Amino acid sequence: MSERSLLSDKAIPPRDRLIFALDVPTRAEALRVVDQLGDSITFYKVGMQLFMTEGYFELIEELKRRGKKIFVDLKFFDVPETVKNAVANLSTRGVECCTVHGSQAILEAAVQAKGTMKLLAVTVLTSLDRGDLDDLGFQCDVEELVYSRAKRALAIGCDGVISSGLEAARLRSDLGEKLLIITPGIRPVENRPVDDQKRTVTIADAFLSGADFVVIGRPIRQAPDPKAKAEELQAEIARLFPG
C-alpha cells in the first residue's frame, strides 16, 4: 500500500478540509477571531463553550452570512427522543454537520431527524488514552473500541465519525470511502504534547491515514500570526490535494 493510497478522494475543496475550532469564551471574541482569520478559514467548528454564552445561534447566522461552513460540535447525548428532537431543530439551521454520542438507540433516533445535515458519531475523544479508558471501565484496546463504534455508526446511517488520526487508517481501509472521517487533535511535531490532547497526529499524518477533514484550534489561535499560520496549514493541505 503506497503512502498516498488512503488519501481522501471525495470532492471537497482543499481549503474546506481545514476546520478551525472556534473555542473562545464569547461571541464578540469569536467574531474578532473570524475577522482576524479572514479568508484563510472557510469552515468553523462551534462547540460547547460558545453554546454556554449568549448569542450562539446569532453567531451561526453571522458565520453563514459571511459564507462560512459550520460544524456544530455539541455531542448530543440524552434519551433518544430528546436527541431526535434536538437534531431535528438543528437541521433547520443550515449547518453542515453535528456530533452525536451514545448508544445504538440514540444514534438511530438522530439519524431519523438529521435531514440533509451530516451526522457524525463520536468514537473515542482524542483527550483520552488507554489509562482513561481503564478508569471508565472499557477493558478493550482503544483502536478496537473506535473501530467498533465507527462500524456501528455507519451501519445505522450516520454519515461519518470523529476519530483520531491514529485510528483513521483502519477505518478507511476496512469501512471504505463512504465514511466521512473528521480528525481533531492535530498538533505540529514541535508542539506535542503540550495540552490536554493525548492521541495526536500531524496534519499530513491525518490526511495520509484517510481523514477527510482535520480540526485545528490552538496551534492556529495561539500562533504569533494566526492568519499566517492558517495559510501555512492550507498550503500544506494544498500540496496533498493539488486538485
14-23 pLDDT, tens digit each: 999 999 999 9
Ordered by where they begin, the domains of the chain are 14-238 (3.20.20.70)
User: 166 near 154, Cβ under 8 Å?
Assistant: no
Q: Quickly count: other Cβ atoms within 10 Å of residue 81's Cβ.
A: 11
User: 230 near 28, Cβ under 8 Å?
Assistant: no
- Determine how β-strand 69-76 pairs with β-strand 160-162: unpaired
**Residue 128: pLDDT band with limits 50, 70, 90:** very low
Q: Report helix angle 56-65 to 27-37, nearest 10.
A: 20
**Residue 196: pLDDT band with limits 50, 70, 90:** very low
Q: Quickly count: other Cβ atoms within 10 Å of residue 48's Cβ.
A: 11
Please give the residue that has the higher pLDDT: either 220 or 139.
220
Q: What is the pTM of this model?
A: 0.89
Give the pLDDT mean for 102-112. Answer: 95
Is pLDDT of 113 > 70?
Answer: yes
Is 75 noted as a catalytic residue in this protein?
yes
State the catalytic residue, choosing from 64, 75, 198, 227.
Answer: 75
Is pLDDT of 191 > 50?
Answer: no
Distances (CA, A) of 228 to 36, 141, 221: 10, 39, 11
Tell whether the torsion through CA atoms of 96, 43, 197 and 174 is positive or negative.
positive
Averaged pLDDT of the chain = 88
53-79 pLDDT, tens digit each: 999 999 999 999 999 999 999 999 999
The pLDDT value given to residue 136: 47
Tell whether the torsion through CA atoms of 138, 204, 228 and 40 is positive or negative.
negative
Element (H, E) at 156: helix 142-156
29-45 pLDDT, tens digit each: 999 999 999 999 999 99
Is pLDDT of 124 > 70?
Answer: no
Element (H, E) at 88: helix 80-90
Highest mean pLDDT among 4-13, 83-92, 160-169: 83-92
Q: Cα–Cα distance between 155 and 143 in angstroms, integer?
A: 18
Q: Cα–Cα distance between 215 and 146 in angstroms, integer?
A: 18
